[in-house]
Amino acid sequence: MEEHLVDWSRAQFALTALYHWLFVPLTLGLSFIIAIMETIYVKTGNVIWKEITKFWMTLFAINFAIGLATGIIMEFEFGTNWSNYSWIVGDIFGAPLAIEGIMAFFMESTFFAIMFFGWDKVSKKMHLLSTWLVAIGSNLSALWILVANGWMQHPVGMVFNPDTARFEMENFFDVLFNPNAYTKFLHTIGSGYVMGSLFVVGISAWYLLKNKDVVKAKKSIVVAATFGLITSLFLILSGDESAHEVALNQPTKLAAMEGLYNGHDRAGIVAIGQLNHEKEIGDDKPAFLWDFEIPYALSFLGYHNTDAFVSGINDIVYGNEAQGILSAKHKIEQGQVAIAALKAYKKAKKSGDEMKAAQELQRFRAHEKYFGYGYLKDEKEVIPPVALTFYSFHLMVGLGSWFLILFFFILYFAMVNKLDGKKMLLRLAVFSIPLGYIAGETGWIVAEVGRQPWAIQDMLPVGIATSQISTAAVQTTFWLFAIVFTGLLIAEIRIMTTQIKNGMEGH
């Protein structure tokens, strides 16, 4: 496949996914914060909580409306740019994506309408139920998408059918309860909750700095900072579990996340450091120009055992006999045998030679585990871009830690009623809104760039997943999306800022 076509197709998918992810986390998080606020209103009967709920609901609606259907673009791209991939995974992805579509449509169209049109028309409890169901429905939509994504990171519960060229589902529950899927789901929705909290805390902090809507802003801060603090802790736990899954199933990604070239026991985590850009796979140069390492932490994070061996990039590329790690070269050879067997099987089937076909199918099955490696030209291709993965991971972790500290202090000063005087802290809260988006995006960069070169881990490299279309067509649509999505983002920011400047009154 033409290299430029693959790169442009990847760039286009990355662009649409990154833009889509600007809208989604706020929907996931803000929907629950609104539900909590409305619950307080229903419980206390205090009208101020109704006004607070309605204000944040308006901002939620803006984000929802602008972000609506931005994800569908990725499905267009599957059919046009990634037709090999979409055919091969069609049987696996069909069920989760159909459930997502039906669930999203029915839950959102019904309860969303009650949530916005139903004030004073349905009972308080019915309205509250609708608000909670919108929140739960939005989050369940994310579940099905992440089940599909988790499967790509760690394919389970399927068998490759050499007659249809498809992975076919053998066990739906293996796919649904794939550890990679649910850890990813929990970590992803957790990041959405933190984003929603940062949004509410940041905007409320801005009101306090402007001495506007002070009472409502403070009440909003208490709810959002509490939610943010709890979900930040949850995010750390789910991140730990997610890293454990990466260590078990995607050691290459873990090695790239940590810039670890030579694996060893009792491996430490580089808390902060600068990669040596002259470092090449297999050479003796140091991996870092400078770094600060926390001893044993990587072994513990990856395997929940401080003595565990963590494989490095060199171990994965060249193998490590003592640790039972096969070299990439060996896997490539195994993959080439699988491809040759598949070709021979196909030929035998065509000529009606069932015995030969059965033999070749057996040969294919024996080497199928490394099928995707057969398409790689060089053993170093198994390693993802190290610098992008490393810096994204460390930025995400650093920001996540900052948010925990921020929520703690904001909540503390709000509870002792001293928040008004903490101007610097309030400014930091406002400034942390874009940081929340950066943390979310870098998380996805770690997840997706870190698993390159694979579209499906070990089974299908991105180079073989694309369609045979012209590069110019992909370039055209890339720029088209860049313009459309940038326009949507500008619209969102403008409408949001107008609403925020108008204040919380009148809601």
Partner 1 sequence: MAITATIKKIFRFYLEGFKNMRLGKTLWGIIAIKFILFFVIMKILFFPNFLKENFSNDNERAEHILNNLTQGEK
Binding site for partner 1 (CB under 8 A): 1, 58, 61-62, 65-66, 68-69, 72-73, 76-77, 79-80, 83-84, 86-88, 113, 116-118, 121, 162-166, 339, 342-343, 346, 463-464, 466-469, 473, 476-477, 480, 484, 488, 491, 495, 499
The torsion region of residue 157 among left (phi > 0), alpha (psi -120 to 50) and beta comes to left
**Minimum distance, C-beta of residue 88 to partner 1, in the bound complex (Å):** 7
Which of 89, 395 has the CB closer to partner 1?
89
Residue type, 10: R
Which of 3, 278 has the CB closer to partner 1?
3
Classify residue 147 by its DSSP letter: H
Kindly give the interhelix angle for 214-249 and 386-415, rounded to the nearest 10 degrees.
150
Which of 317, 464 has the CB closer to partner 1?
464
Q: How many residues comprise the chain?
A: 507
**Minimum distance, C-beta of residue 161 to partner 1, in the bound complex (Å):** 9
Residue 212 phi, psi dihedral angles, 5° rounding: -125, 140
Sign (positive or negative) of CA dihedral 449, 451, 452, 456:
negative
Give the E-state strand segments of 266-325 in sequence order. 269-275, 288-294, 309-310
**Minimum distance, C-beta of residue 476 to partner 1, in the bound complex (Å):** 7
CB 453 within 8 A of CB 382: yes
Which of 80, 276 has the CB closer to partner 1?
80
Which of 7, 293 has the CB closer to partner 1?
7
Alpha-helical runs (H) found in 450-470: 462-465
**Minimum distance, C-beta of residue 388 to partner 1, in the bound complex (Å):** 26
**Minimum distance, C-beta of residue 506 to partner 1, in the bound complex (Å):** 10
Q: What share of the chain is helix, strand, coil (3-state, %, to 5)?
A: 75, 5, 20
**Minimum distance, C-beta of residue 417 to partner 1, in the bound complex (Å):** 33
Checking DSSP bridges between strand 454-456 and strand 460-461, what pairing results, if any?
A: antiparallel
Please count the CA atoms within 13 angstroms of the CA of 409 that sit on its side-chain side. 16
Coil, strand or helix: which one is 127? helix
Residue type, 415: M
CA distances (Å), origin 221, targets 30, 199, 217? 13, 10, 6
Which of 166, 369 has the CB closer to partner 1?
166
Contacts (Cβ under 8 Å, ≥6 apart) of 55: 216, 504, 507
**Minimum distance, C-beta of residue 243 to partner 1, in the bound complex (Å):** 33
Which of 271, 469 has the CB closer to partner 1?
469
**Minimum distance, C-beta of residue 79 to partner 1, in the bound complex (Å):** 4
**Minimum distance, C-beta of residue 414 to partner 1, in the bound complex (Å):** 29
CA distances (Å), origin 168, targets 157, 165, 365? 9, 9, 15
**Minimum distance, C-beta of residue 91 to partner 1, in the bound complex (Å):** 12
Which of 37, 66 has the CB closer to partner 1?
66
Give me the residue label for tokens 């993802």.
Answer: 384
Which of 236, 484 has the CB closer to partner 1?
484
Which of 320, 499 has the CB closer to partner 1?
499
Exposure string over 468-498, b if 16+ CB within 10 A, otherwise e: eeeeeebeebbeebeeebeebeeebeebbee
**Minimum distance, C-beta of residue 47 to partner 1, in the bound complex (Å):** 19
CB 187 within 8 A of CB 159: no
* 265 bridge partner residues: 309
Which of 86, 262 has the CB closer to partner 1?
86
What is the C-alpha to C-alpha distance for residues 444 and 70, in angstroms, rounded to an integer?
A: 17
What is the C-alpha to C-alpha distance for residues 33 and 440, in angstroms, rounded to an integer?
A: 18
